[in-house]
Structure 1
Amino acid sequence: MGVSIRFLGGTGTVTGSKYLIEHGGQRLLVDCGLFQGYKQLRLRNREPLPVAPDQIGAVLFTHAHIDHSGYFPLLAREGFTGRAWCTPATRDLLHVMLPDSGHLQEEEAEYANRKGFGKHQPALPLYTVEDARRCLKRLHTARLHERFEPLPGWSASFSGAGHILGAASVLLEVGGRRLLFSGDLGRPDDALMLPPEPPPAADVVLCESTYGNRLHPKEDLLAELGAALSRAAARGGTVVVPVFAVGRAQAVLLAIARLKARGELPRALPVYLDSPMAVATTELYERHLGQHRLDAAQCREMERTAQMVTSVDESKAIAQRHGPKVILSASGMATGGRVLHHLTHHLGDHRAMVVLAGYQAPGTRGAQLAAGQASLRIFGQQWPVRAEVVQLTAGSAHADAEQLMAWLRGLPKAPRRTFVTHGDMDAADALRLRIENELGWPALVPEHGSTWLA
């Protein structure tokens, strides 16, 4: 009996990663992510999966980002009772991120009901904080390179992927096949994370393609960020930095700490990390020394760079403080979270600046800002954009096209088939072409919902 892969997300888009593996009447899900961005993608989050959750025996997480993990509370609420496997650092992050995601779902539904701008009456959250907390009981951990059995007769192991704390590639062995899921791959030159490990041999490879058609610029993150922050500070403006609470927030904090230490930013420039999830995540780096490039002293330096803001009252108080300041707040694509409130306060101020610090998926507010849109719809109304918008080109946590190819070239032998996933269509197809032309391997970009034999 063959092994099949059904692509339930992460195809033609960088969000919603879900890969259903079936063999011998058993089913396993690699990643369990939320769709983000365009409304037609987000609507998929409310559609039932083509297989009942109670028919899925296990889940394997490559890492904790919500586009890879954020559907899990709903899966568990709808009947999943198996084990979910991840690395220890990913488990710690999920304990922070999934309840926070549930809180955002509740908060946005409550706000829509209170203001009356929701299209559904009443607006309901996709899942709640309590749903998220309950699903955490399903988590089990395995260290890198430790073999474990997610289902009877199935073997799996994790290897380091860089990218963010705890991120891993997954090797799944079942039915005589070796399936390798890259997860999101980091950069070999990342300032914060270790480089991805060389991939193990596999019959089938699923490779991400977020930057499959691009190369990272030579620009230095410190130079690029320092110039932007100095310019805004000189005119007395507030800088709002939408950040991913895991990875991007810490990388920007580290860069600001180094800029201040070098005298390229005023030491007195106030910096706020306004995201309970990002605050909790920053503290985890010291717990997982050896999983990244920082030592304990550097972790503490990163934490001291900003005033950590957790309460709503503290968050509101930031808006009342005059003079130049830097506010780092989630979410990184401005799809939700406290950063939306900061944007409503500062988008209309010509002295202010919005720094986009990472990839902005099409359909998100961050992508609209990057495209130079004159106004932004937040909380049911349009807000004019008069602030300077800066899209950083340096410092991405994703491998670029050349680095993805280098990782693939590290495979001990050519796989039978390569699937190019987790990329917008132009990026995914560009990487597919390179794989076919430069490596001579059969490669394809699967369609959403399609099923292939491994």
Structure 2
Amino acid sequence: MTLNIRFLGGADTVTGSKYCVEYDGKKLLVDCGLFQGFKQLRLRNWDPCPTPPKDIGAVILTHAHLDHSGYLPLLARNGFQGKVHSTSGTRDLCGILLPDSGHIQEEDAYFANKHGYSKHSPALPLYTQQDAKYCLQQFHVEKLREWFQPMPGWKAQFSSAGHILGATSLLLEVGGRRILFSGDLGRPDDSLMNPPDAPPQADTVLIESTYGNRTHPEENVNAELGEALKRVAARGGVAVVPVFAVGRAQAILHSIAQLKSRGEIPHSLPIFLDSPMAIHTTALFKRHMGEHRLNATEVQAMDHVATMIETPEQSKALVKRHGPMVILSASGMATGGRVLHHLANHVGNHRNMVILTGFQAPGTRGATLASGASSVRLHGKDLPVAAEIVQLSSASAHADGKQLLAWLQKMPQAPAQVYVVHGEREASDVLRQRIERELHMRAVVPEHGSLWPG
């Protein structure tokens, strides 16, 4: 019997991770992510799932970010009835992220219909908040470094990936083969998370390549962020910081708390966190002590450095407030949510600043701003960009090319095959070449929709 992997997402692109493992007539899905970025990618979310959801026996999530988990509500609504296996941290974060994703999509559809800028009449959400809450009933928590059976005859084990709370690499054993999915690998020197575990032995490896063609600078995020915030505060401006509600929001809050305590930025500089999802995620750091580097005092400081903006009314009031101030708001690539209103309000003023804190997938508003574009499209209008755009080069939560190679090199023996996934084409191919040249392992970059032996 043949063991195959079908690449339904996270191939040719850095979003939409979905890997369908097929053996003996059974199918298991590793990750279940949304496509983000370019319109042609986002449209894939609306296409029927290439593998009928009712035929999938189980789903295993490496972590909670929407490009790995955000398609689950659709999968469940369209017929998937199996269990979703994850760590407790991933389950807790999905309990925040998925309903929020449904809520944002409902809000965006409502806003598009109200202002008439959608080509569809009426504009509809991809899924609803209720769809997201429904799929959460299917989660089943597994412990790190302990074997579990997602389906009869299939074994799996999580190890820590060090990327965000609950993030894992996954070892899957079926049909006499061992397949290792790296998930998103964190940095060994990350300011928040513990370093990734060393990889176990496997026959086949799927390794992410988000930063496969880059090397992180030695400068730390405090130095970069501190200089930017001092500049914007001195001119009385507003810094809008699009943040990933899970991971980057907490890292930036931790950095700001350190900068204020050391007197490197004005202690009186107002900080606002306008993202209920990020607020609730920050609270999870208390529940998952030991999964991250922070002690109780540091978690407390991170939690209290900003004024938390919960309600839509509070967010609207914040829009009317003048600088100097700093507004952290989701989403990290400015693809939706409250941050769009803050960008629309502040991006046209030269005293203001937009601080980008992580990877900006091509086709997103964040990537548009990072490219130095003179305008950005918000709520159906092209708005001029006059604000200073700062992209933090040291704030990523992903391992760079050198760190990815170092992780792979720690395997007890070289795998028979490496698939380079979850990266833009250039990043994936650069990493593929380095794996072949420096580690002497067979590596390939699979295409979207392709089927390869496991």
TM-score range, shorter chain: over 0.9
Post-superposition Cα deviations, 1:20-70, rounded to whole Å, max 9, x if no partner, equal 001111110000000000000000000111221000000000000000000
- Equivalent-residue separation in structure 1 for 2:129 and 2:243 (angstroms): 22
Post-superposition Cα deviations, 1:157-194, rounded to whole Å, max 9, x if no partner, equal 10000011110000000000000000000000001000
**AA in 2 matched with 1:192:** L
The alpha carbon displacement at 1:355 in A equals 0.3
Unaligned stretches of 5+ in structure 2? none
Alignment of 1:347-386 (within 5 A): 347-386=347-386
Specify the alignment match of 2:119 in structure 1: 119
Specify the alignment match of 2:211 in structure 1: 211
- Equivalent-residue separation in structure 2 for 1:131 and 1:106 (angstroms): 11
Q: What SS does the corresponding residue of 1:8 show, helix, strand or coil? A: strand
Specify the alignment match of 1:407 in structure 2: 407
Asked if 1:258 corresponds to 2:262, the answer is no
Specify the alignment match of 2:140 in structure 1: 140
Specify the alignment match of 2:388 in structure 1: 388
Specify the alignment match of 1:22 in structure 2: 22
- Equivalent-residue separation in structure 1 for 2:215 and 2:356 (angstroms): 18
- Equivalent-residue separation in structure 1 for 2:133 and 2:41 (angstroms): 25
Specify the alignment match of 1:181 in structure 2: 181
Q: What SS does the corresponding residue of 2:101 show, helix, strand or coil? A: helix
**AA in 2 matched with 1:433:** Q
**AA in 2 matched with 1:272:** F
**AA in 2 matched with 1:330:** A
Specify the alignment match of 1:324 in structure 2: 324
Q: What SS does the corresponding residue of 2:148 show, helix, strand or coil? A: coil
- Equivalent-residue separation in structure 2 for 1:360 and 1:413 (angstroms): 35
- Equivalent-residue separation in structure 1 for 2:316 and 2:105 (angstroms): 20
Asked if 1:42 corresponds to 2:45, the answer is no
- Equivalent-residue separation in structure 1 for 2:210 and 2:322 (angstroms): 39
Q: What SS does the corresponding residue of 2:350 show, helix, strand or coil? A: coil
- Equivalent-residue separation in structure 2 for 1:411 and 1:283 (angstroms): 35
Using structure 1 for the length normalisation, give the TM-score: 0.99
Specify the alignment match of 1:163 in structure 2: 163
The alpha carbon displacement at 1:322 in A equals 2.1
Q: What SS does the corresponding residue of 1:411 show, helix, strand or coil? A: coil
Specify the alignment match of 2:452 in structure 1: 452
Q: What SS does the corresponding residue of 2:33 show, helix, strand or coil? A: coil
The alpha carbon displacement at 1:294 in A equals 0.8
- Equivalent-residue separation in structure 2 for 1:358 and 1:260 (angstroms): 22
**AA in 2 matched with 1:20:** C
Specify the alignment match of 2:4 in structure 1: 4
The alpha carbon displacement at 1:12 in A equals 1.2
Using structure 2 for the length normalisation, give the TM-score: 0.99
Q: What SS does the corresponding residue of 1:244 show, helix, strand or coil? A: coil
- Equivalent-residue separation in structure 2 for 1:300 and 1:338 (angstroms): 25
**AA in 2 matched with 1:439:** L
Specify the alignment match of 1:431 in structure 2: 431
Specify the alignment match of 1:149 in structure 2: 149
Specify the alignment match of 1:306 in structure 2: 306
Asked if 1:337 corresponds to 2:334, the answer is no
Specify the alignment match of 2:128 in structure 1: 128
Alignment of 1:283-294 (within 5 A): 283-294=283-294
The alpha carbon displacement at 1:253 in A equals 0.3
Aligned residues: 454
CA RMSD after TM alignment: 0.6
- Equivalent-residue separation in structure 1 for 2:7 and 2:195 (angstroms): 27
**AA in 2 matched with 1:357:** T
- Equivalent-residue separation in structure 2 for 1:226 and 1:110 (angstroms): 38
**AA in 2 matched with 1:365:** R
The alpha carbon displacement at 1:297 in A equals 1.7
Specify the alignment match of 2:274 in structure 1: 274
- Equivalent-residue separation in structure 2 for 1:16 and 1:323 (angstroms): 37
- Equivalent-residue separation in structure 1 for 2:119 and 2:10 (angstroms): 27
**Share of identical aligned residues, percent?**
63
The worse-fitting range, judged by mean Cα deviation, of 423-432 and 291-300 is 291-300
The alpha carbon displacement at 1:334 in A equals 0.3
The alpha carbon displacement at 1:4 in A equals 0.5
The alpha carbon displacement at 1:86 in A equals 0.4
Specify the alignment match of 2:421 in structure 1: 421
Alignment of 1:57-96 (within 5 A): 57-96=57-96
The alpha carbon displacement at 1:323 in A equals 2.7
Specify the alignment match of 1:295 in structure 2: 295
